[in-house]
Structure 1
């Protein structure tokens, strides 16, 4: 097993890609840092770095360790903070996870209502992909999770919010902008902007299958890491997108959102622990009210 201290040193080295600079940040000697790397390499049975005279480069194994270690160290820090709080007699945090699109309007509204209803509660917010939240719920690191999936994990309660309607996302001034409703075949021959499949394989695959079933399978898919990058690419006229309700951003002047007749059976839902909890139930109620308002603003009646 790799020690947390060794992982911390490796993360700093991966950020610097220079032994001298990393050792300086860590306040250790370069030989000490080199020995740490060798110790980890012996544990995993492979090389982490390719070293040159001036700079180092991560191997695929090194990149995988770097990304995983960042999550692990953040979790360890959060655990330390939580245990210290409990030991000091402080109130335990109410930990909320959510997919990034929910962070724009849904979650802020729900947090505002929770804060008004429970002014003394300590809230912590954790943007995560759906599969990261499912794991965090299993491990007891979240109290509620806002996810987009048809999966209903065991040992949690699943609260359906909505099968989100889909909207065509177009650059401002696009020839289809005047249309009140856009059928997917009208988007044929465009480059489609999408999130990476590994962010939510279930949603990605369902969306691609929908394109194919409507005869609008894209010739080219351009991947952008998050919703902000996706909307930026659309706004720049590089492609179009088809996105669910929570992506709608009426404040942007470079993109327009037009309804389609489609929706996917990959619902937005809130997961809570199997044991009933007043705060979790209040979160679900507030989220349900906010979704109704968002649907009304989008001109969509049912869920």
Structure 2
């Protein structure tokens, strides 16, 4: 069976107008072309749908049964086309993003605000997960867009850098090291140290970079959350290091931050997408906003 949309539209137009002449104007076909469309539709279905005389035009019983179904098919098609047009025009749709907590709670809200201002009808879901899970969620297709550290060379992922994130020292109010414009690692490690637990990517990176310099962290406190670190430092329990994108959060929690060097530890933060899968229009719009915001 080979039935076309043109044939369905021709049939519905004829039934609505009860006139081949008026139906031609509705579907923009000549009368011979309209007649051929109806004939081919009837042949495809196996029998007549219309009963025609020189004065009257009516539906056969089979035509009566088929007409509402033809209307529904065309209505569903028009609705689907309208929805796709809205999605491609970013008037409607949804997008999901996974972001590591340090970015989600500090920089991401600004990007979301910019995205919302530009595309107010796109719904967004934000997954606030650890950096390792961001990569897994993008790779598995659970989200189209992720923001995390550079996952390195991978065949299945694309990475678009947003900025280079340098680690900073986190100190309590009135700490002696606040007299220094830039804090040295060697001096920082003399104090009680608070840091994320392994296997956090941040912890592993810091341990690896310090090991190259012959230094080792012996933590007095370990935790899972950067916010907990900020509050513990502000309370005076010790000192810590965090990515600079957490500067605002640490300040809000009552801690004070300083640049950190010897060694300088930094890591690229960027947008992660799947290499061989095209993004939806909404996801493309979100990536563009992220890249222009930072």
TM-score (norm 1): 0.60
Change (3 A) 1:263 1:144: farther
Unaligned runs of 5+ in 1: 1-85, 292-303
Change (3 A) 1:154 1:263: farther
Partner of 1:283: 286
The reply to whether residue 134 of structure 1 matches residue 130 of structure 2 is no
Per-residue CA shift, 1:95-151, capped at 9, x if unaligned?
011000112231101101111111110111110112212221122110110112442
Superposed, which structure 2 residues align to 1:98-177 within 5 Å? 98-177=99-178
Change (3 A) 1:257 1:213: same
Partner of 1:198: 199
Distance 1:285 1:180 in 2: 36
Distance 1:152 1:127 in 2: 24
The reply to whether residue 220 of structure 1 matches residue 223 of structure 2 is no
Per-residue CA shift, 1:213-259, capped at 9, x if unaligned?
44542233521111110101111111111111111026436310001
Distance 2:110 2:98 in 1: 15
Contact 2:232/2:238 (CA < 8 Å) preserved in 1? yes
C-alpha deviation, 1:169, in angstroms: 0.5
Change (3 A) 1:149 1:239: farther
Contact 1:130/1:149 (CA < 8 Å) preserved in 2? no
Distance 1:158 1:288 in 2: 11
Distance 2:256 2:286 in 1: 31
The reply to whether residue 257 of structure 1 matches residue 257 of structure 2 is yes
Distance 2:260 2:292 in 1: 24
Distance 1:211 1:146 in 2: 26
Partner of 2:54: none
C-alpha deviation, 1:179, in angstroms: 1.0
Distance 1:290 1:259 in 2: 23
Give the RMSD, CA atoms, in angstroms.
2.5
Partner of 2:242: 243
Change (3 A) 1:226 1:233: same
C-alpha deviation, 1:93, in angstroms: 2.4
Change (3 A) 1:108 1:236: same
C-alpha deviation, 1:263, in angstroms: 4.1
Unaligned runs of 5+ in 2: 1-79
Change (3 A) 1:127 1:161: same
C-alpha deviation, 1:191, in angstroms: 2.4
TM-score (norm 2): 0.62
The reply to whether residue 207 of structure 1 matches residue 206 of structure 2 is yes
